[in-house]
Amino acid sequence: MRKIYTWLWLLAPLFSQAADTVTTKIIPDTLGPGEPFRMEITVTSADDFAGPVLRIASELPVLEFIPLRFSGQRFSAGNTCTLLVSGVAPETPGEHRIPGFTATFAVRKVEIPETHFFVKANKAGTTQGFAKAVLDMPDRTFYVGETIRALIHFNHGTAERITGFYGIESRSESIKSRSTVINRDQEDAIESVAGLSPENTKLAAIELTPTQAGEVDVRLTGMMLVETNQGAGQLNRDRPFSFARKIKVAHVPEKGRPADWNGAVGSLVAGPVSLSNAKPGIGEPITLSVTVTGSANLDRVLAPEVPHGDLWDVMPANDKPRTIRKDSQRTFSYTLTPRMPGNLKTPAVRLSFFNPETKAYERIEFAPQDVTVTGQAPEKVELVAVDPAAAIGATEKAAQRATELLNPTTTEGNTRTRPNLLAQPYTLLWSQLGLLGILAGALIWSARRDWLNRHPEILRRRMALVALRKARRLLRKAERAGDNDAHAQAGVMALRAGAAALVEATDVALTAEDILRAMPELMTPASVRALFRRADGTRFGGTMTAETLNLHGDIERCLKQMEDRLCA
């Protein structure tokens, strides 16, 4: 039993978890807006830390309004370590929070809890004298590959002055960054636009390039050197600043993308074009340099391709090394070799780019240059060659024949400007199909004509039907006019026209009885006879005054019956 207790006592440290005690403290206790502070994190552990903290600098949270910077650590007796973090209070009064993070030591990780502090409000009308950094960045949708130029304004305070800055970098995975130098004239221009005087501000620039689409976090950190006026003299300190923004990044649109677009995003202008020699000899290389200027991702732009031509051999472009290149311009140099003599123009160089302001693809073109190429084109290829393997005699004859053919003594012949018939095959095909259609129409018409010739009664009935309908229209007109004579004449004409086709007789020779024989199914024979008497009676027996208008309904029914029979 005693042995067991001894072993448990020896192994206890292995099974027990070393408990770390972490306390945080903000100095000073009460903060004003923009006031720098120091945060002391005291970690007390049962075990040794085995060296200084390793990665706290990269694990500190990046907050837009509370910049933090790891400024050192000190070890005390009893395994106590104090981490010192300096920061700047936000401008907004109220309670603020620094999220928890991890401090990685050589043998363990220590979780630092979140810390709260309070920023008191300034009294109205009072100004604080703290220096601060302000990020100036366009507010719009950006594009993958685009170079975004962000400006950081360092504004002096009444009690503090910023004398410099360093270490500006982006901590976002999807953003590539590069600090750039601002020239004095550029700085003046930018400050005058911003409405700030050079005495009260300093300026830093950084180029950001998004590498993926979506909502991207821009996290920038850096340090500024602050000079504070105190009673005993001036005190210089460096102070962190940080920015955290979310920006929208999209891919450049595929619609309307030119085939020669090579990744340029921004706004570009064609600059000067220079030529090393405007009067070269044939085959003598010359250098064509084109300069593109503007605000774009010029570093990432591939040189525009200029293909070989019939007049020029073109070597691929190279541009000036980056060390001597200006940020806002880029020069591409092509080596051109003329292949033909004469007054030539250099090939056109074109560069397409996507303009994020107009959200459209645009193209610039460098004007072709006039070049006078002197000399005579060299004969590169012998046109006639003799096959060494050919039989003796045959070789000479073949060579002579080939020489004759390949050195034509005349180029006369039938000149033409009309393409071959099969050059536009669809035009030819449709014209032939059209002719075939016309022929088919003619054949159909001919067959129909033959069929009607074999069945003359069809044609006769159709003609009778046309005459009957015409007479019916006259009948109705006479009925509406109340003209008895015209009514009787039109009715008789209609009856005769219809019946003539049925009995194969001449219509004027038909009497009422002929019509009643041809159409025995007529319901009102008396009306037919009365109509005939009225129409023809004057010819045979004096003036007839019998009313026939009242028979209009009967006659219409007769004519309808007759029309139906003709159509059957």
Does 480 interact with another protein (rule: CB under 8 A)? no
The mark string for 42-81 relative to another protein (x by CB under 8 A, - otherwise) is ----------------------------------------
Q: Is 97 helix (H, G, I), strand (E, B) or coil?
A: strand
Tell me the closest approach of the beta carbon of residue 414 to another protein, in angstroms: 6
**Comparing C-alpha atoms, which of 37, 35, 18 is closest to residue 27?**
37
The pairs formed by 188-192 with CB atoms below 8 angstroms and a separation of 24 or more are: 190/151
Quickly count: other Cβ atoms within 10 Å of residue 206's Cβ. 21
Per rule CB under 8 A, count of chain residues that contact another protein: 61
- For residue 238, what is the enclosing H or E element? strand 233-250
Q: Is 175 helix (H, G, I), strand (E, B) or coil?
A: strand
Q: Which of residues 326-385 bind another protein (CB under 8 A)?
A: 339-342, 345, 347-350, 365, 367-368, 376-377, 379-381, 383-385
Only one of the segments 1-9, 416-424, 458-466, 518-526 lies at the binding site for another protein (rule: CB under 8 A); that segment is 416-424
Sign, CA dihedral 160-161-164-169, equals positive
Strands 233-250 and 142-143, sheet pairing: parallel
Does 443 interact with another protein (rule: CB under 8 A)? yes
Does 418 interact with another protein (rule: CB under 8 A)? yes
Chain centroid offset of residue 290 CA: 28
Beta-ladder partners of 143: 250
Q: Is 340 helix (H, G, I), strand (E, B) or coil?
A: coil
Q: Phi first, then psi: what are they for 10, rounded to 5°?
A: -70, -40
Tell me the closest approach of the beta carbon of residue 387 to another protein, in angstroms: 8
Tell me the closest approach of the beta carbon of residue 304 to another protein, in angstroms: 10
Sign, CA dihedral 32-33-37-43, equals positive
Tell me the closest approach of the beta carbon of residue 58 to another protein, in angstroms: 38
Does 429 interact with another protein (rule: CB under 8 A)? no
The mark string for 294-333 relative to another protein (x by CB under 8 A, - otherwise) is ------------xxxxxxx---------------------
- By beta-carbon proximity to another protein, the closer residue of 323 and 376 is 376
Does 394 interact with another protein (rule: CB under 8 A)? no
- For residue 432, what is the enclosing H or E element? helix 425-454
Tell me the closest approach of the beta carbon of residue 548 to another protein, in angstroms: 49
Q: Which of residues 174-203 bind another protein (CB under 8 A)?
A: none
Tell me the closest approach of the beta carbon of residue 336 to another protein, in angstroms: 11
- By beta-carbon proximity to another protein, the closer residue of 19 and 389 is 389
Tell me the closest approach of the beta carbon of residue 358 to another protein, in angstroms: 19
Sheet strands (E) in 89-213: 94-98, 101-104, 109-112, 115-119, 132-136, 142-143, 148-155, 160-170, 175-180, 201-210
Tell me the closest approach of the beta carbon of residue 189 to another protein, in angstroms: 34
The mark string for 234-273 relative to another protein (x by CB under 8 A, - otherwise) is -------------------------x--------------
Tell me the closest approach of the beta carbon of residue 417 to another protein, in angstroms: 4
What is d(CA 5, CA 11) in angstroms, rounded to the nearest whole number? 10
Tell me how far apart the 2 most distant CA atoms of the chain are, in Å: 166
- For residue 391, what is the enclosing H or E element? none
Tell me the closest approach of the beta carbon of residue 397 to another protein, in angstroms: 14
- By beta-carbon proximity to another protein, the closer residue of 156 and 339 is 339
- For residue 82, what is the enclosing H or E element? strand 80-88
Structure tokens at 241: 């600043």
Which residues of the chain form contacts with another protein (CB under 8 A)?
A: 259, 306-312, 339-342, 345, 347-350, 365, 367-368, 376-377, 379-381, 383-385, 387, 402, 405-423, 425, 428, 432, 435-436, 439, 442-443, 446-447, 449-450
